[in-house]
Structure formats: structure tokens, C-alpha cells
A and B are shown apart, each in its own frame.
Chain A
Amino acid sequence: MEPYISVKNVSHKYPNGVTAIKDINLDIHEGEVVAILGSNGSGKTTLVKHFNGLLKPTKGEITVGTMNTKKERISKLSSRVGYVFQNPNHQTFLPSVKQELAYGCKNLKMTEEDIETRVQKAIDLFRLEDRLDDNPFDLNSSQRKEVAMASIMAVSPKVIVLDEPTTGQDHKGCKRVLELVRMFQREGHIVVLITHDMHLIGELNCRTVVMNQSEKIADDHASVVFSDKGIMEEAGLQPPQITQFANQITNLDEMKTYLTVESIIEWMKANKEEDVKVGTGS
């Protein structure tokens, strides 16, 4: 199957001479959820900013759908790749949630009915019926974030990029993000997540790309990446607590990485008669 986003040997050098990403190769297929991990300054954001053309590769090539990002306008690419910024305050400016949702579609010069249907779809997806006339700045931060996401989704891009969606969110907000990502996937979108939230990745149990010092050092399923001690240490990452805990239990199924509490409980139920043996780490 042809990948939807294809990154080929891409490097990006900022005008100040800093090389933010070096020789990256990455294919993202339809229906995938990809988490991009790495410490601050490792090049995660630079990489994803290439997807909607905010940055153009200084070397290499990126194709989104059939479009070469070098040759297309950001406004056109943005209809395929929605980018939700970390701080919703950078995006929202209209006096009501409804206008905010319609803004992207209006920029694409859609017809009134078309805008109406798309906005309605976003309202249904995000359950925003009661907040349509609120001013986005009167909402709390997680609601505002949701409005920002909904306003991107209203354009119904194929790919949705979430830049640190759980940062600064309370537990409820984080759970909602998880729910939304799963929903996007069900709706047939590709989701690209930049995050430091290992718990979120554990729950999503998705493909994980690890960046370190401008380079891609791992690209595999979360369970594989999280169990690779070398890579985790190199990138300065720590797997979710439950995975660390599971790694200490020596008589656990060695072949499997446990990413969620539920998976451990399941194992415990299945191995009731055995004692849990805690070792010094595997």
C-alpha cells in the first residue's frame, strides 16, 4: 500500500545554521496513529511542521497524498493536514465557538451549505452543542483546546497533527484526548502525536517514532520501543510506570511488554496461583 505521508531523506537547516532534523525517512499509512517521542529540541516539532508545509525541507522530499510539500501552498496542504498547536490561544480569535469552527472552511471558500454540514459534523463529534455561542476565551483551558481541535477537524483533514495535546491538562482532559484520538482513528484519520506523555502512548498502544538529536533512532510499535532499554536511555525517556513495574516482575511473559494497568491485571488473574516474583529488573 502506498503511504499517505512519505518522508524521504529529509533534512532541515534553520536560517541560523542549526540543523534541526537530519536525513529522516518515514512512511505513514492510512489509518495509522503515530506518536513522536523525544526530548526537547530533538526535532519532533520541526519534523511535523513539514507535513503541512510550514517548513520546507532544505534537503529531501515529502509527499502528502499526491502533493509534494515543496510545491504546494500551506493553505492548500492545511486542508489535508490539520495541525493543532500546543497553545489554543495562538489559534482562536473569533467571538464565538461556532464562528471559530467555520473559520477554516471559510478560508477554503466553501459554500454556505458545505460549511454548515462540516461544522455540524464537528459539533457532533466534539459534543459542543451547548457551547456554540460561548466566547472561546471564556472556556477553561481543556475546553479551549477541544475547540481548537474541533476547528481543525471541521475542515476534515486526512491527517491530524496534535502538538503535545495533554500538556497542562487535568486527568479528565487527558482522558478526553485519549478518547478523541481513538475517535479520529475510527473516523479514518491519520493521527500524528507529539508528546511527552508516556502514559498516553501506553494506552494508545500505537506506532512510536523516537527522535534524538535531530535523528530518528527508533520506529516501531510502542511495546517494542518501550522494552528497548538502549533506545529509551539514549533518548532520555522513561517508559510508563506500569511498564517499569512489569519489567521488575521476573516471571512475567518475557516476550510481552505491558503498557497498561489492565494488561497487568489480566496477567495476574490468569496467574492467580503463582506468586508474583519481583526481581532487580530485567
Chain B
Amino acid sequence: MNSLYMPKDSLIHSLDPRTKMLFVVFVVASSFILNDPALQLVFLVALFPLVVMAKVVKPYLISIQFLLLFAVLIMTVHGIYNPIGVTPVFEIFGGLTFKYESMVYASVMSFRILVIGTAAVLFVMTTHPSDMASALVKWKVPHSFAFILLSTFQIIPIIAREAKIVMEAQQARCLDVKGSLIQRVKNLVPMFAPLFIITFMKVHQLSYVLECRAFSRKGEKTSLRETKIGSLDYTFLLGMLGFLAFEIYLKLFMMGSLQLTTDALLTYSLFGTWIVFGFMIIKFVVKQFQGKIGGAN
């Protein structure tokens, strides 16, 4: 049902959802406080042990690929074309020059995306949606709002499944889904019309089902999945607080004397994203090729 949640037994999983929500807030704040590519890179690397601890390395790497696409795009396009750049770093063919200032700007942007993305993925993969809902309720979020959030998580896989059936059903009516671009745009109608109708029907049914189980009853509700803040959470929170204080100290008093960002770092991180991106493309092409041979759809 919950496509992104990975049920595993780990320290991160056993944290209270509230702690993890604060963690996401902390990471977002940090990514803005550490307004320097080198520090952000360090921060990104520092987050990785948490991913390992949560035992979600493989799914994490898969989902972070999409964010890497953004990073590659931002670093390349901004590095060359952003008008704030004045100091050239190196030139690629055709007179396209990467400039220092724009590279700093692009790196900050893309590392920020990756850092926040990592925290978000970590949160979603280690938190059961129901736990999140019940944690929100403990934060005095109205029950129905928590439920809206929860049902959104749950309805996405349902819609995805229905979409697959609808597509098969329309293909069974001789719809060519592998036609030209115009044809594909036209195909959206037979795809989405039944999908919308079915989704509305399902939501309508869901509302009845909820009412049958006294959803709108007034008063306090208990939850099957109880969440509790324990010593582990306090340790984690304290750690975050300490880190935050350190970051602010770094920002306020050390920034002048600390010059970690160099041309080499920027260039290597740019090349790094390119290389990873190149691997992704090769993997994609190989998969397509295999698909053609194996005849998988």
C-alpha cells in the first residue's frame, strides 16, 4: 500500500515521527545556514551514515537519481550562463566558460536540493504514514487534516495501479500507446477520463466507509499505532541542537577565516555529477536495449 515506506528494523525507524519531522526542519535550516558549497558537501556526506543506519541505501540511491538530474542541469547551465559570474575557471569547447561565482551559486543550489532531498527521502522511507498521522495529531493537528495527509500517501499507489489497468484496457481497444507525440497527447483523454471517474468513485466510497466507522465522531480518538518520544529521541534532538549551534557559530565567527571552497572543489563536484549522470544514461540505454531484445513490453 505505502509505496515509499520501507519497513526495516533500524535506529532511524524507531525514532518518533516528530523527531524525524524536526530533523527535516533542521536539515532545511542548516542547508540555508551553511551557505557554502564545501560545507554543504560535507553536510551531505555527513547525512549518508544516517541512510546506511536506516538500511535504505539502495532505494535511497534510486530515488535520489531524480534529484541528481536537477543538480546536473543547474550546475551546468548556471555555471556557464549565470550573469553573476566574472572570474573564469575553465573553458570547454566553443568558448563556453565556467565562472567561479556562478559555479558557487549553482553548487549551493544543487547541494541544497540534494541535502533536503536526502532528509525528505530518509523521513518518508523510515516513517509509516499512519505513525506520521498519529504524531501530527499529538501536535494538535486536527484529526481530519492528518487523515487527508495520510490518505494522500495511500491513494497514490492505488491510482498508479488503476492507471496501469486503464492503460491496458485501452490498449485492448486497439489504442496505440507507442505512436507519435501528437498521438500520445491525444491518448491522454482515454487514459485520464476513466482514471478520474474511478478515482472519484473510490474517494466517494472511501467517505462512506469512513462514516460507517464513525470517522466524524466528536471527541478524542485513540490510535492503533502509538508513538512515544523516548531517550533515543532526546539524544537525537540534543545532537541536532548541538549541531545547529555549531553551524551558527561557524557562520557568525569563522566564515571570514574559513575558505574551503576552491576552484578544484567546484570543478571536481561538477565533473562528479557529470560522471554519475553519464552512468545513469548508460544504464538507461542498456535497459532500453535489453527491453528491445527481451521483448519486455
Which A positions have Cβ atoms within 8 angstroms of B? 49, 52, 54-56, 58, 70-71, 73-75, 78-79, 82-85, 87, 89-93, 103-104, 107-108, 137, 151-152, 155
Contacts and interface: CB of A to CB of B under 8 A. Distances in A.
A104 B173 contact: yes
A78 B294 contact: no
B173 A107 contact: yes
A75 B295 CA distance: 15
Nearest to B297: A56
8 contacts: A54-B171, A58-B296, A75-B174, A85-B172, A107-B173, A107-B174, A137-B197, A151-B173
Contacts of A84: 172
A20 B281 CA distance: 31
A83 B177 CA distance: 16
Contacts of B178: 73
Interface in B184-205: 189-190, 193-194, 197-198, 201
B250 interface: no
Contacts of B169: 83, 85, 90-91
A54 B296 CA distance: 10
B175 A85 contact: no
B166 interface: yes
Contacts of B175: 75, 107
B165 interface: yes
B246 to A, nearest CB: 44
Interface residues of B, number: 25
B296 A91 contact: no
Contacts of A49: 168
A281 B106 CA distance: 81
B3 to A, nearest CB: 13
A155 B171 CA distance: 13
B170 interface: yes
State the main secondary structure of chain B at its contact with A: helix
A73 B176 CA distance: 8
A87 B172 CA distance: 13
Residue from B171, B173, B178, B189 having most chain A Cβ neighbours under 10 A: B173
B190 A93 contact: yes
Contacts of B193: 93
A84 B260 CA distance: 65
B171 A90 contact: no
B197 A89 contact: yes
Contacts of A90: 162, 165-166, 169, 194, 198
B296 A56 contact: yes
Contacts of A108: 174
B168 to A, nearest CB: 5
Contacts of B174: 75, 78-79, 104, 107-108, 155
Nearest to A89: B198
B262 to A, nearest CB: 45
A18 to B, nearest CB: 15
Nearest to B163: A90
Interface string B257-297: 00000000000000000000000000000000000001111
Contacts of B189: 93
Given A54-B168, A56-B297, A71-B295, A91 B197 contact: no
Contacts of A56: 294-297
Contacts of A82: 172
A54 B194 contact: no
A85 B165 contact: yes
Contacts of B296: 56, 58
B182 to A, nearest CB: 14
Residue from B168, B189, B197 having most chain A Cβ neighbours under 10 A: B168
Residue from A71, A79, A90, A137 having most chain B Cβ neighbours under 10 A: A90
Nearest to A75: B176
Nearest to B191: A93
A91 B295 contact: no
B38 to A, nearest CB: 41
